[in-house]
Structure 1
Amino acid sequence: MRNHTLVTTFILLGLTEDPKWQIVIFLFLFMTYVLSITGNLTIILLTLLDSNLKTPMYFFLQKFSFLEISLTSTCIPRFLVSIVTMDKTISVEACFTQLFAAFIFGIAQFFLLAVMSYDRYVAICRPLHYTTIMNNRVCTLLFVSCCLIAVFAICPGVIVSLSLEFCDTIIEHFFCDYSPILKLSCNDTRFMQLLNFIFAIFILLMTLALVMFSYGKIISTILRFPSAQQQKKAFSTCSSHMIVVSISYGSCIFMYIKPSAEERIYLNKGIAILTLALAPVLNPFIYTLRNKQVKEALKDIIKKCTSATSK
C-alpha cells in the first residue's frame, strides 16, 4: 500500500510546547483577531453606510478589509481552538483547504494593492478624467479580476499537490503553509520548491512594479504642484496606502531570506504572525487615524447610534 493512502491527518506543532507561553499566545492572538475583525468590519460598514465614502478609493478599501478578514479567519480561529482543546490534528482535506484559501486571499490582496495605487495615480495625475476612468463598472471588474487571477494562479499548485505522497505527518508550523507541507512528502519536491519560489517572486515583483510605477508618476506630478499646501494634501491621500504597502511587501519579501534551516522555521512563523495577526489589526487604524473623511464618517455614525438609543 502506498504511503499517501495511510495519511489522513496532519499534526500542527504550533508555536511552542510551553504551557505558560501557550496562554500568552492564545490571549495575544485572540485579542488581535477580535480587534482585526472589529476594525475591518467598521471600515466595511462605514463605506456602505456613509454617502461621502461612495468613491472608488473607499470601494477598494472596503474590499481590502474584506480580504483582511478572510485571510486572518482562515488560520487564526483554527489555531486558537487547537490551543484550547490541545488537539493539534487536522485532516489532510482541511489542511489543503486552509492552504489554498490563504493563498487565494493573500494573492488577491497584492493585486488589489496594485489596483489601489493605480486608483491614486488616476485621481492625482488625471483628475479631470477620474470619474470617467474609475466608474463603478471598472472598479467592480478590477476587484473581480484580482480574485480570479488569484484563483487561477494557484490552480497549478493544486493539481501538483493532489499527487503528493506523504511519509510524515508533523507540520512545523501553526497553520498549513506550503513549504512545511512539501517537507513531509515522499516525492522529490526540489522542483516544486523552486517553482513555488519563482512564482511567489514573480507575483511580488509584478505587483510591486505596478505600485512603484504608479507612485513614481504620482510623486513626479505632486512635485510640480505650485503650492506646498497642495503637495501636502496630495501626499496625505496616499500616505496610508504607502504604509500598508510597505508592511505587506516587507513581510513577504523577508520570507525569502535563507538563513539556516532552523532559524528560517522561526523566521517564517514570526512573519506569518505579522501577516495573519498584526497586519489586519494595524491596517484599519492606519486608514482611519490618518484619514479625515473616515474619522468624520465614524463620528457621524456614533452620533446617530447614540441619538437613536437615547430616544
Structure 2
Amino acid sequence: MFPAPLSLLSQMENFTYNSLTLQLEGLSVTKTNKYTVFLFLLLAYTFILVANVGIVILIWTDRNLHQPMYLLFCNLSLNDVMGNSLLVPRVIADILVPPSERLIHYYECLMQAFTTHMFGTNAHTVLMIMALDRYVAICDPLRYTTVMNRRMVVTLTLSAWGSAFVLVAVLLGLTIRLNRCRTLIMNPYCDNPSLFKLSCENSFISNIYGLTFTVVLLSSSIGVIILTYSKITAACVINKNKSLNSKALKTCSTHLILYLIMLVSGFILIILHRFPQYAEYRKISAILFNVVPGSLNPLIYGLQSQEIHRSLSHMFHMKKAAPTL
C-alpha cells in the first residue's frame, strides 16, 4: 500500500477537525414529562404567532393605528415572530428525539445563532427608539407630528435593525474564523457562546468582543431608558397636568414593563452562562428568554392600549353584524 498524498491527508484531517455535523444537547426531559413540555412550548409558540401577527395585521389595516407608537411596536412583534420561528420549532421537535439523534448542520447552527442574537439585540434597539418616541410625544407634544413623521419612523426602524445586524455579524464573524475540535452544542439551540466553546483555539478576541458588545448594548439601552424617563418625569412634575400625567403613565408603564421583562430574562441568561453547574437552569432560561417576551409583549401592549381595544371591538362588531345584513 502506498501512503496517501499529504494533501489528501490534510483534507481528511480538516474534514474530521471541522465537522459540519453537530449535536445539540437539548433539554433534559424524561419520558413522563416530555409530552407536557412539548405541549407547553407548542401552545406558547402558537400564541406568539397568532398574537404578534394579529397585532401587526390590525395595525396595518386600521388607519387610525397608523401612528408612530404603533408602527414602531410592529418592529417588536416582527422581531418576536422571527426570533421564535427559527428556534422554538426545532426545540419542540428535539424533545421527541433521543439525545443521540439531535443533529444539526453547522450552517443551520450559524443561522440559529445569528437569529437568537438578532432577536436579543433588536429587542433593545427597538425599545430604545420607542422610548425616544414617548419622550417627544410627552415632552414636546406640539412638535410631535413634525418630528415623528413617516420619514423619521422609517429612519429609526432601519437604524434599529441595521445596527443590530452589524453588531451580530461582527460577533459571529469572529467566531466563524475559529477551527472546531468539538461537536456537542451544550444548549437547546445554537448561540455564539456555544459555538466558540466548540473551538480548541484561543477565543480571547471573541470573548472580549462579546463582553464589549453586551456592555455597550446594555449600557446604551439602560442609559436611553433612564434619560428619557427622567425627562418625562420632570415634564409631568412641572406641568402638573392630570390628563398629560395619565397619558404618560399608561403609555410609559406599558413600554417600561416590556423593557424590564426583556432585560430581566436577558440578565438571567447571561449570568447563568457563567455558572456551568447550573446548565439545566440555563437551558430552560434560554428557551424562556424567547418565549416569555414574545408571549407577553402583544398581551401587555394590547391590554393597555385603548386604540387597539377600540379597533378590535369595532372589528368584532362588524363580524357579528355581517350575517344580519
> Normalising by structure 2, what TM-score?
0.89
Question: C-alpha offsets along residues 212-250 of structure 1, whole Å, 9 cap, x if unaligned?
Answer: 111111111112232445422321121111100001111
| Counterpart in the other structure of 2:14 | 2
| Counterpart in the other structure of 2:134 | 120
Structure 1 residue 81: Cα displacement:
2.1
1:99, 1:178 within 8 Å by CA — same for their partners in 2?
Answer: yes
1:11 to 2, 23, 28: 23
| Counterpart in the other structure of 2:52 | 40
Deviates more, 1:265-274 or 1:62-71: 265-274
1:29 to 41, 48, 63: 41
Identity %: 28
For structure 2, the residue ranges without an aligned partner over 5 or more in a row are 1-12
The 2-side partners of 1:246 and 1:278 are apart by 12
Please give the residue correspondences for 1:171-186 in structure 2 after superposition, counting only pairs within 5 Å: 171-186=185-200
Label 1:148 to 1:229 Cα distance change in 2 as closer, same or farther (>3 A): closer
The 2-side partners of 1:307 and 1:9 are apart by 57
| Counterpart in the other structure of 1:99 | 113
Deviates more, 1:24-33 or 1:272-281: 272-281
The 1-side partners of 2:161 and 2:78 are apart by 12
| Counterpart in the other structure of 1:261 | 276
| Counterpart in the other structure of 2:184 | 170
1:60, 1:116 within 8 Å by CA — same for their partners in 2?
Answer: yes
Label 1:29 to 1:310 Cα distance change in 2 as closer, same or farther (>3 A): farther
Structure 1 residue 11: Cα displacement:
1.0
Structure 1 residue 2: Cα displacement:
3.2
2:65 to 41, 47, 53: 53
Q: Which amino acid aligns with 1:82?
A: D
2:27, 2:95 within 8 Å by CA — same for their partners in 1?
Answer: no
Question: C-alpha offsets along residues 82-138 of structure 1, whole Å, 9 cap, x if unaligned?
Answer: 234554110000000111122223212211100000000000000000000000011
2:77 to 65, 78, 82: 65
| Counterpart in the other structure of 2:87 | 75
Q: Which amino acid aligns with 1:291?
A: S
SS at match of 1:235: helix
Deviates more, 1:103-112 or 1:23-32: 103-112
Please give the residue correspondences for 1:220-259 in structure 2 after superposition, counting only pairs within 5 Å: 220-257=234-271
2:114, 2:191 within 8 Å by CA — same for their partners in 1?
Answer: no
1:3, 1:165 within 8 Å by CA — same for their partners in 2?
Answer: no
The 2-side partners of 1:119 and 1:88 are apart by 44
SS at match of 1:194: helix
| Counterpart in the other structure of 2:201 | 187
Question: Which structure has the larger Rg over C-alpha atoms?
Answer: 2
| Counterpart in the other structure of 2:10 | none
Deviates more, 1:219-228 or 1:242-251: 219-228
State the superposition RMSD in angstroms: 1.8
The 2-side partners of 1:215 and 1:291 are apart by 19
1:4, 1:166 within 8 Å by CA — same for their partners in 2?
Answer: no
SS at match of 1:19: coil
SS at match of 2:23: strand
Q: Which amino acid aligns with 1:233?
A: K
Please give the residue correspondences for 1:141-156 in structure 2 after superposition, counting only pairs within 5 Å: 141-156=155-170
The 2-side partners of 1:156 and 1:233 are apart by 40
SS at match of 1:223: helix
Deviates more, 1:76-85 or 1:7-16: 76-85
For structure 1, the residue ranges without an aligned partner over 5 or more in a row are none
Structure 1 residue 73: Cα displacement:
1.0
After TM superposition, which residue ranges in structure 1, 4 or more long, deviate above 6 angstroms?
A: none
Figure out how many residues of one structure are paired with residues of the other and give that number. Answer: 310
Label 1:160 to 1:229 Cα distance change in 2 as closer, same or farther (>3 A): closer
Label 1:166 to 1:305 Cα distance change in 2 as closer, same or farther (>3 A): same
SS at match of 2:291: helix
Label 1:130 to 1:167 Cα distance change in 2 as closer, same or farther (>3 A): same
Residues 1:208 and 2:213 aligned together = no
SS at match of 2:22: strand
> Normalising by structure 1, what TM-score?
0.93
1:4, 1:164 within 8 Å by CA — same for their partners in 2?
Answer: no
